[in-house]
Chain A
């Protein structure tokens, strides 16, 4: 699995640290906190997720990837898109 880092170019996924679903939004109040921390959509198919390029440019990126095939569908700097 190779990830197309927007800064470094295509790199092996081994250089990255995985954080998970990028669509989760921290709730304003405490009410939604348990859902935010513990519940996941756990999508089968295209999913946008946060990866950290720890052994490259040390930047958080948002990668869209098909979880059923591992096909890469695009990557952007996390700060430019989904949070």
Chain B
């Protein structure tokens, strides 16, 4: 009992702003003994004040991570996160939870690798179980040319200090013996493996960052839709008009991927972005069968298995502009064909749910973290369908930009003007055709 009291004393001094429970074996035991009636809300549902130093629009993973790092790293705590619906209800709750840093281009690789390193320390930093599971990401190759491309990518990764292994067929067979190796059309010839890649629990990431931010004084305001920008005589953004009234701000950051163009249009800004729908799927719960994340190389299909047992998988975006958060059947068929081609065993598995999320498809397939031509307005956008894995580094870099007015060194390439200047970061080499990235 003595240690018990000492524990609470220590918590109070370490986190003077906090009223949240610090998770530990002791708090678990205490709450278990009190029939779990003593848990406090994880974060504070705030009423908006008249003004803040910084307003973040968008209470998804990126917006909450930005607020957390503004407070935790830069000491800026007079911050509000404004969310139209409920936090984590957009793409943060619609992704397939994959984390990886297997990028080739110099503008991308250091950023995503830093994000991976932040994932690796995230749970300790936030004192929150985000279920980060480094179970490996395996990209299959089905031809000599693909193997060459995988070797090139793997070498590029290793030059950036990222772990990468080029596997031959036997190497793949050890990891995933159930694949259809000798398929006549797309035989599996090997794979590129990133052992440190894996999955993380999407909503726990949201709640963890929300708790960390809220605990440091950040106001998380839900059901607060931004409907316009408050501009002064020089055109500088000095606040936002919302469904809960005017809120003034020193700086306003947008983290609303999927809807970036709609919010930017409120400031008469056109973006190099199209919104597209990406579908994802989950099966009924099964015993453990898929060891890590596996991607098919001859079609667009990727799959992992959640801790609950469901197979979580997806494929291509539907390919047409959409804000509808639901897709159409041709892509369902295409994804399932990809799955059947690489692992026919899943043919008997029943699909539980499918859903759609709206992606900010940028013109080169890479994101934007930059100031805008409008003073006081900052942009975090264009995550295409790779935003989840970027959550920690995106928040960290956007916080750095908002706090210092300078790009963080790992996100220096994610400029808004790179399209005009020709400094594109086009991993897939598709050009300005967002539905092909």
A/B contact in complex, CB under 8 angstroms = yes
Tell yes or no: B420 within 8 A of A by CB.
yes
Q: Determine whether A69 belongs to the interface, using a CB cutoff of 8 Å to chain B.
A: yes
B435 contacts across to A, CB distance below 8 A: 18, 20
Kindly report which residue of chain B lies nearest to residue A66, judged by CB atoms.
B324
Q: If A14-B330, A49-B320 touch, does A41 touch B275 (CB 8 Å cutoff)?
A: no
Q: Is the CB of A42 within 8 A of B274?
A: yes
Determine how close the nearest CB of chain A comes to the CB of B42; give it in whole angstroms. 32
A13 within 8 A of B: yes
The segment out of B153-161, B172-180, B265-273, B390-398 that lies at the interface is: B265-273
Tell me the smallest distance from the CB of B382 to a CB of chain A, in Å.
11
Please state if A40 and B262 are interface contacts (CB–CB under 8 Å). Answer: no
Cβ-closest chain A residue relative to B319: A18
Interface residues of B in 264-289 (CB under 8 A from A): 265, 270-275
Given A40-B271, A42-B273, is A20 in contact with B323 using a C-beta cutoff of 8 Å? no
Interface range, A side: 20 to 34
- Other-chain residue from B321, B328, B420 in contact with A20 (beta carbon distance below 8 A): B321
Please name all residues of chain B whose beta carbon is closer than 8 Å to the beta carbon of A43 when the two chains form the complex: 321
| B261 sits at the interface (CB 8 A) | yes
B322 CB-CB contact with A under 8 Å: yes
Which chain A residues lie closer than 8 Å to B126 at the CB level? none
- What CA separation (Å) do A43 and B273 show in the bound complex? 11
Contact (Cβ within 8 A) B323 A41: no
Inter-chain residue pair count (beta carbon < 8 A): 67
Partner of B274, one of A1, A40, A65, A68: A40
CB of B118 within 8 A of chain A?
Answer: no
Chain B facing A: main interface SS: mixed
B246 at the interface (CB under 8 A from A): no
> Known interface pairs A18-B435, A70-B322. Does A13 touch B328 (Cβ–Cβ under 8 Å)?
yes
Residue of B nearest to A47 (CB): B321
Q: Any chain A CB within 8 A of the CB of B419?
A: yes
Return the chain A residue nearest B424 by Cβ: A38
Does B363 sit within 8 A of A, measured CB to CB?
yes
Q: Of all chain A residues, which has the CB nearest B331?
A: A14
Within 8 A of B (CB), among A1-44: 1, 12-14, 18, 20-21, 34-35, 37-44
Verify A69–B324 contact, CB threshold 8 A: yes
Q: How far is the CA of A22 from the CA of B275 in the complex (A)?
A: 16
Given contacts A20-B435, A44-B262, contact A38 B330 (CB under 8 A): no
Q: Which of A13, A49, A67 is the one whose CB lies under 8 Å from B330?
A: A13
Which residues of A (27-83) have their CB < 8 Å from a CB of B?
Answer: 34-35, 37-44, 47, 49, 65, 67-70
C-alpha gap A2/B424 in the complex (Å):
35
Are A67 and B272 in touch, CB under 8 angstroms?
A: no
Residue B432 at the chain A interface, CB threshold 8 Å: yes
Minimal beta-carbon separation of A71 from chain B (angstroms): 10
CB–CB B324/A34 < 8 A: no
Residues of A within 8 A of B319 (CB): 18
A-B contact pairs, 17 of them (CB 8 A): A1-B328, A20-B274, A20-B435, A21-B321, A37-B419, A37-B432, A38-B432, A39-B272, A42-B261, A42-B271, A44-B261, A44-B275, A47-B321, A49-B321, A67-B324, A68-B324, A70-B328
7 additional contacts (CB under 8 A) given A13-B330, A40-B270, A47-B321 = A37-B432, A38-B363, A40-B274, A42-B261, A49-B321, A65-B320, A70-B324
Closest 5 CB pairs of A and B: A42-B261, A14-B330, A38-B419, A38-B272, A39-B270
